Structure 1
Amino acid sequence: MTTIATTDVLTERGAELRAEGEVNERLGKLSEKSVEIMRQSGVMKLLAPPEYGGTRAHPAEFAEMVMKMASLDGSAGWVAGVVGVHPWELELMSPRLQEEIWGLDNETWVSSPYAPMGVATPVDGGYKFTGHWQFSTGTDHADWVILGAFLADRSGEKIMPPRFLHVVVPRSDYTIVDDSWDVVGLKGTGSKDVIINDVFVPEYRVVDQTDLFSGKVARDAGKTEPIHRLPFYSIFPQGLTAAVVGIAEGALQAHLDYQSSRVQINGFKSVEDPYTMYAVSEAAGEIRASRVSLLDNINRLYDTVAAGKEISMEQRAVGRRTQIQAAWRATAAIDTILARSGGNGLRMNNPIQRFWRDAHMGTAHAIHVPGPSYHAAVLTELGLEPPVNLAAAV
């Protein structure tokens, strides 16, 4: 389902993007060439509003795009999967905010994270905002950021039970901590820390997380398109999981390229080793199954809302389980592949090991923690309502 423009770009420049993988890792952020190719591909505009050059595409199309990009370079795919989803949320927010972000340059990127690592204290006309966030993916190439926050009362004390906000802030109001991204995988994503100290944020740049997750924000904005009737936890994790699956596809291709001419220490060609070929073929099937299940899941959810129906708690919970399982299944398949790559598969100039590290970093993301979502899914299948702490994960 990928667009013609993106297919053409990644066909023509895919080898360049693949070659930048090692460069991105060394830089600790995406190279300028990687960003250029990503912008040219249009991946960041797939879920953006048409008023600002977007296509408001089907989320399955977006997932396929992210998978393709991640199969070339895991970090580029991960940034696309994270940053590329943010226009979906921003289209639900104030038109004034959208104009500020995209009015002069509709290529502007907006990073995150959503974790509530800051505090927003109400003041006249908005909020006083302070915090320190980790994991701001792609932040070096973004001019705005969406940040999670605890809501405080006017005295600065956090409201209990907690209420969470998403707060949108321009680059001039936050500091990027340059030496804060030293990790084992997805090194090229540049997912650095950002810091804000007592910045004023006008009210129109803030949205209540509960209202966003419940669909109230979309309804209040008059957004009736199927994609805006999808729950937040159906659409946002999609990009991250697609990146992990794409990384697995990249690992598989790198392994096949390597094995095609590899001679093992016993003098036999790898392609003549039935045990290795069996294991790798089984891993390939698992990666394929991860792709199919992920796309089938989002297609089913999209078709439900497109038909004018509401997505049930069971559909949401089972959908989250499907996403998480796809990421873990694909990553386990890479483990199988790496174990059949021999010592040379672990050399730093062999991309197999980089895909392996990237995938494991991807499954470490909070969105891929299986416990709460799996628990919620099986409770709904038993006809039970999951408790609040589990329902919050779906």
Structure 2
Amino acid sequence: MLDNWRTLGMRGTGSNDVVIDGHIVPEAAVAARRKAGEWHPLFQIIATTAFPLVYSVYLGVAESARDIAIATAKRKTPDQHAIQLAGRMDTELAAARLAREWMLAAVRLNAPSAATVNQVMMGRQLVARHAIAAVEYAMELAGGAGFYRATGLERRFRDIQAARYHPLQSGPQAQYAGSMALGLPVDRVY
């Protein structure tokens, strides 16, 4: 049964069945079970394969923001400050691309495990950090025009912020990576 069934609009029926928005899911139809607060091997598959896809979207948001900022900056003669901002932005974007490639390398291993989850989650942190920084530089490079809806940059700035909030967030990811490095169990790190 799910840990957070109350928050998902689910409630127990008194038996082991679960009600979801007026529909009963018989206990026999639940394909995977896990102990509350523990990783299930299915989570290793999901984390290893899904997160590179999700963070590819955030990378795309950052790439789009970069293109908008460059087009906006080219409307004026760039000064040294603008040139440096463009360089910093592209460097952050390159770091986000490298981190995403690190995540995809874990997928290509086709061996979901605690180690591949660790690799993907480290990549997830790095893609988020560098994609957010790239979009921040894009906003700065575009200047005041970046805040107008017509440019589309303010929306990308808002959208990229969500990259911070997927599991494993910064603290749990550091705990997971540190536990792996020290040979400690990770089955209860969320």
TM-score by structure 1 length?
0.41
Runs of 4+ with deviation above 6 angstroms: none
**Deviation digits for residues 145-191 of structure 1 (CA, Å, limit 9, x no counterpart):** xxxxxxxxxxxxxxxxxxxxxxxxxxxxxxxxxxxxxxxxxxxxxxx
1:239 aligned residue: 53
Other-structure match for 1:282: 88
1:332 and 2:133 aligned: yes
- After TM superposition, the structure 1 = structure 2 runs for residues 1-394 of structure 1, keeping only pairs within 5 Å, are 116=5, 117-118=7-8, 119-121=10-12, 127-130=17-20, 196=21, 198-203=22-27, 205-210=29-34, 213-215=40-42, 231-262=45-76, 269-270=77-78, 273-305=79-111, 311=113, 313-360=114-161, 362-367=162-167, 369-386=169-186, 388=188, 390=189, 393=190
Q: Relative CO higher for 1 or 2, CA cutoff 8 Å, sep ≥ 6?
A: 2
Contiguous gaps of at least 5 residues in structure 2 = none
Q: Distance in 2 between matches of 1:281 and 1:314?
A: 34
Alignment deviations for residues 319-361 of structure 1 (CA, whole Å, 9 cap, x no partner): 212112211211122112212221121112111111111111x
Give the deviation of 1:259 after TM superposition.
1.3
Cα distance, 1:203 vs structure 2 = 4.5
Cα distance in 2, alignment partners of residues 276 and 301 from structure 1: 38
* Residues 201-230 of structure 1: CA deviation (Å, up to 9, x unaligned): 2456533353993149xxxxxxxxxxxxx6
Which structure 1 segments of 5+ residues have no match? 1-113, 131-195, 217-229, 263-268
CA distance in 1: counterparts of 2:115 and 2:175, whole angstroms: 12
Which one has the bigger helix percentage? Answer: 2
Q: 1:346 to 1:261 in 2, by over 3 A?
A: same
Q: Distance in 2 between matches of 1:208 and 1:303?
A: 24
Q: Percent identity?
A: 15
CA deviations over 1:262-295 (Å, ceiling 9, x no partner): 3xxxxxx12xx12221222221121122122212
CA drift of 1:377 comes to: 0.3
Q: Separation in 2 of the partners of 1:210 and 1:298?
A: 27
Q: 1:326 to 1:123 in 2, by over 3 A?
A: same
Asked if the contact 2:103/2:120 (under 8 Å) is kept, the reply is: yes
CA contact (8 A) 1:127 1:202 kept: yes
Give the secondary structure class of the aligned counterpart of 1:129.
strand
What code does the residue aligned with 1:351 have? G
The residue that corresponds to 1:39 in the other structure is none
CA RMSD of superposed structures (Å): 2.9
Alpha-carbon distance change, 281 to 129 in structure 1, aligned in 2, over 3 angstroms: same
The amino acid across from 1:121 in the alignment is G
Q: Give the aligned length.
A: 183
Choose between structure 1 and 2: higher strand proportion.
1
Map Cα deviations across residues 294-318 of structure 1 (whole Å, 9 max, x no partner).
Answer: 123222343252xxxx63x244223
Supply the distance in 2 between the matched residues of 1:322 and 1:348 (Cα, whole angstroms). Answer: 31
Structure 1 residue matching 2:150: 3-state secondary structure: coil
Q: Report the alpha carbon displacement of residue 234 of structure 1 after superposing the two structures with TM.
A: 1.4
Structure 1 298/123 Cα, relative in aligned 2: closer, same or farther at 3 Å?
A: farther
Q: Is the 8 A contact 1:284 1:333 kept in 2?
A: yes
Cα distance change on mapping 1:236 and 1:213 into 2, 3 Å: farther
